[in-house]
């Protein structure tokens, strides 16, 4: 099972801005019903894509300054995708795991099994 990192003011830079992999930050709050539904979807995505994606959670009520500094989050849940320390994509609202993956797939490294087979032109002619 892939680890879902709990973000705070102390680990934001190391976990998000310096992440070697793209990192999806799930912005949530304890009072938010859809956030509770989103949590298992995000955790399942972390398990499925752990080799090419990191996943983290940020309680926006506990650390509002982090969200305000990087994105205009006005709907919960909202997922923020950071690539090389930069905000690359925002996904507002509840989304199932496969919908989240569809949204962020263009930003993730392709798997070897997803690449077309290598062929030699000389062998075909």
Mind listing the pLDDT tens digit of every residue in the chain (125 residues)? 688 999 999 999 999 999 999 999 999 999 999 999 999 999 999 999 999 999 999 999 999 988 887 888 889 999 999 999 999 999 999 999 999 999 999 999 987 766 566 665 655 54
Contact (Cβ atoms closer than 8 angstroms) between residue 24 and residue 104 = yes
pLDDT of residue 39: 97
All structural domains of the chain: 4-124 (3.40.30.10)
pTM exceeds 0.85 for this model? yes
Q: Which positions are annotated as active-site residues?
A: 32, 35
If you ran DSSP here, which 8-state letter would residue 93 be given? S
Q: Pick from 105, 89, 91, 115: which is nearest to 48 by CA?
A: 105
pLDDT of residue 101: 98
């Amino acid at each position: 099972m892939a680890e879902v990192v709990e973000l705070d003011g102390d680990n934001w830079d190391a976990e998000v801005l310096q992440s070697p992999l793209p990192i999806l930050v799930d912005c949530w709050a304890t009072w938010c019903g859809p956030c509770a539904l989103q949590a298992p979807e995000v955790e399942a995505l972390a398990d499925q894509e752990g080799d090419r994606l990191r996943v983290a959670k940020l309680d926006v009520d506990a650390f509002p300054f982090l969200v305000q500094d990087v994105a205009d989050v006005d709907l919960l849940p909202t997922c923020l995708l950071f690539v090389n320390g930069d905000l690359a994509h925002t996904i507002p609202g509840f989304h199932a795991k496969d919908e989240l993956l569809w949204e962020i797939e263009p930003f993730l490294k392709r798997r070897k099994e997803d690449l077309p087979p290598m062929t030699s032109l000389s062998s075909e002619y």
